[in-house]
Amino acid sequence: MADVKSDIEIARAAKKKPIVEIGAKLGIPSEHLIPYGHDKAKIDAAFIAAQQDRKNGRLILVTAINPTPAGEGKTTTTVGLGDGLNRIGRQAITCIREASLGPCFGVKGGATGGGYAQVVPMEDMNLHFTGDFHAITSAHNLLSALIDNHIYWGNEQNIDVRRIAWRRVMDMNDRALRHIVGSLGGVANGYPRETGFDITVASEVMAILCLSVDLKDLEKRLGNIIIGYRRDKSPVFARDIKADGAMTVLLKDAMQPNLVQTLENNPAFVHGGPFANIAHGCNSVVATTTALKLADYVVTEAGFGADLGAEKFFDIKCRKAGLKPDVAVIVATVRAMKMNGGVKKDDLGRENIEAVNKGCANLGRHVQNVKKFGVPVVVAINHFTSDTDAEIQAVKDYVATLGAEAVLCKHWAEGSAGIEELAHKVVELAESGHAQFSPLYPDDMPLFEKIDTIAREIYHASEITADKSVRDQLHAWEAQGYGHLPVCMAKTQYSFSTDPNLRGAPSGHVVPVREVRLSAGAGFVVVITGEIMTMPGLPRSPSSERIRLNEQGHIEGLF
């Protein structure tokens, strides 16, 4: 193990090709690539618009079991599978989310894969990248400023200042901003009121950018944002205070997908990154649909485990964008199976077939859930050096009993050579034409029933509870014409239940709906079933203390 290189060492040793060469592989002329340095580029909107009549490639979703502290390697597998497909002769593009800046200064950086399955340049991607998140921050906060300015100058729209729903955002982990009183200091500064900041990835603007098909759609959705309510409870929209045009201008460049490359010089689109709890947790629709026009295979991922990520990918992103996924890959690890089987983190190094077998229940539930969407499933066992052959075989045997296959993948250590088998299996499933994708529930189902359907079918809950106020709110939105929207579940990612400590495959639990929120611009109803943190804090010894430039000008401590 002594000669194992760190992710950053591997990334720095990468032989990157000029980004115009990567674009050329996809048939993108250099004048349609907007460079950001020599290794990043945006694909311009005109080129994207011109591809609309082309045939789509196959869409592969990479999802996972419920995350455990053992780590599953979902992004690593997404990147590895993209490289694997290219290796076996399929033109493939990997589509993943952009990293949020704030958390890099807290505990961890790195949302760009790992080992020999990474996307580069990793430093840039964990810092400002191409400025998309900064643009989202600006657009969000322009709307915030316009709201208080509107009230300051006479409140022509009669916004009830107690019922302003729009907060501010910052791409920073800053708990001091969670809850503030603003507009203090006298007459020149406005009307004091309670408000606060969320982290930028939690902004509805982020969700909107990721679901919009073009700038026109973006502007319409931004205009549809509900910023608050009047005393008669009627909603006030962003367009009512004429914010949509300027917000769109701020987001014009951010709407264009970013092209980078894997360590093996294959194309990757890295674009957008909405929260996976109060939003849908997938990269942008523009990136995915553009990739489908340019490649035989598009490999993308969804946030958290399949109970949240895949469900939202299918029921929100695919439904809204008309996407038809061909295969779903569920990532699991032997270590995570053992944790689900009751083993503590410190004991993961010891072989424990019994725990593996027990923990497989979690994986099994996800396999069966994903099949409900009509999408063929294959399990990827992301290999760790401590895994024993018997443990791996136990997972394979278990998955076989579900009528599916589990494939051992060594892309972390070996790059695309280690994931050829999975690539072949994915191609076999995709080209079999077995996929018959359909969302879990129809558009016209009442909102509460949609929640109920997800809770029963996906979480295996026995019932959902909600106060009358919650039910009344859902009915009110249905009356206002929002009943056709999908629901976006905000639940702990660690369990099928709302109790993060309940691993495995619990059933018969109760899902309490604490609060519902309408993201009218993004186009979904957020259903909150627990404590949802939308502005993280920093730990006692934040990683920022160790981040600096060394004598060679390299960044230390970011990863």
Check whether 74 is labelled as a binding-site residue.
yes
Check whether 372 is labelled as a binding-site residue.
no
User: Of 340, 337, 264, whose CA–CA distance to 94 is shortest?
Assistant: 264
Element (H, E) at 512: strand 510-513
Point out the catalytic residue in the list 40, 42, 74, 293.
74
**Contact between 174 and its own copies per CB under 8 A:** yes
Check whether 68 is labelled as a binding-site residue.
yes
- Catalytic residue flag (residue 380): no
User: Of 511, 504, 394, 533, whose CA–CA distance to 448 is shortest?
Assistant: 511
**Contact between 542 and its own copies per CB under 8 A:** yes
- Catalytic residue flag (residue 178): no
Residues 36-65 that bind its own copies (CB under 8 A): 36-38, 45
Point out the catalytic residue in the list 54, 108, 162, 233.
108
**Contact pattern from residue 83 through residue 122 relative to its own copies, giving x for each residue in contact according to CB under 8 A and a dash for the rest:** ------------------x---x-----------------
- Catalytic residue flag (residue 365): no
Point out the catalytic residue in the list 133, 166, 304, 477.
304
Q: Please report how close the Cβ of residue 67 comes to its own copies at its closest, in angstroms.
A: 23
Helical segments of 440-524, H only: 447-457, 468-479
Q: 241 and 274 in contact (C-beta within 8 Å)?
A: no
**Contact between 34 and its own copies per CB under 8 A:** yes
Among 91, 158, 183, 265, binds its own copies (CB under 8 A): 183
Cis peptide before 376 (omega within 30 of 0): no
Point out the catalytic residue in the list 41, 47, 76, 466.
76
**Contact between 146 and its own copies per CB under 8 A:** yes
Strand ranges (DSSP E) for 186-252?
193-195, 197-199, 226-230, 235-237
Indicate the SS3 state at residue 270: strand
- Catalytic residue flag (residue 153): no
Check whether 75 is labelled as a binding-site residue.
yes
Q: Which is nearer to its own copies, 94 or 195 (CB)?
A: 195
Instruction: Tell me how far apart the alpha carbons of residues 329 and 74 are, in angstroms, rounded to a whole number.
Output: 10
Is beta strand 58-64 parallel, antiparallel or unpaired with respect to 258-262? unpaired
Among 94, 173, 290, 534, binds its own copies (CB under 8 A): 173
| Alpha carbon of residue 237 to chain centroid | 26
Check whether 73 is labelled as a binding-site residue.
yes
Check whether 131 is labelled as a binding-site residue.
no
Residues 115-144 that bind its own copies (CB under 8 A): 127-128, 131, 134-135, 137-138, 141-142, 144
Point out the catalytic residue in the list 412, 477, 496, 559.
412
**Token digits of residue 259:** 């092209």
Q: 357 and 401 in contact (C-beta within 8 Å)?
A: no
**Token digits of residue 144:** 């915030």
Among 88, 152, 265, 413, binds its own copies (CB under 8 A): 152
- Catalytic residue flag (residue 390): no
User: Of 93, 98, 103, whose CA–CA distance to 129 is shortest?
Assistant: 98
Q: Encode burial over 476-510: b for 16+ CB neighbours within 10 A, e otherwise.
A: ebbeeebbebbbbbbbbbbbbbbeeeebbbbeebe
Q: Please report how close the Cβ of residue 172 comes to its own copies at its closest, in angstroms.
A: 5
- Catalytic residue flag (residue 313): no
- Catalytic residue flag (residue 412): yes
Q: Please report how close the Cβ of residue 256 comes to its own copies at its closest, in angstroms.
A: 11
Q: Please report how close the Cβ of residue 242 comes to its own copies at its closest, in angstroms.
A: 4
**Contact between 549 and its own copies per CB under 8 A:** yes
Stretch that binds its own copies, among 68-76, 183-191, 390-398, 460-468 (CB under 8 A): 183-191
Residues 352-371 that bind its own copies (CB under 8 A): none
Residue in the block written with tokens 């950086």: 109
Residues 202-261 that bind its own copies (CB under 8 A): 215, 219, 242-246, 248-250, 252-253
Instruction: Tell me how far apart the alpha carbons of residues 82 and 75 are, in angstroms, rounded to a whole number.
Output: 11
Q: Name, in order, each residue with C-beta under 8 angstroms of 62's C-beta and a sequence gap of 6 or more.
A: 74, 77, 78, 81, 299, 300, 301, 302, 328, 329, 331, 380
Point out the catalytic residue in the list 276, 295, 310, 328.
276
- Catalytic residue flag (residue 74): yes
Q: Please report how close the Cβ of residue 248 comes to its own copies at its closest, in angstroms.
A: 6
Could you tell me which residues are annotated as the binding site for ATP? 68-75
Could you tell me which residues are annotated as the binding site? 68-75
Catalytic residues: 74, 76, 97, 108, 276, 304, 384, 412
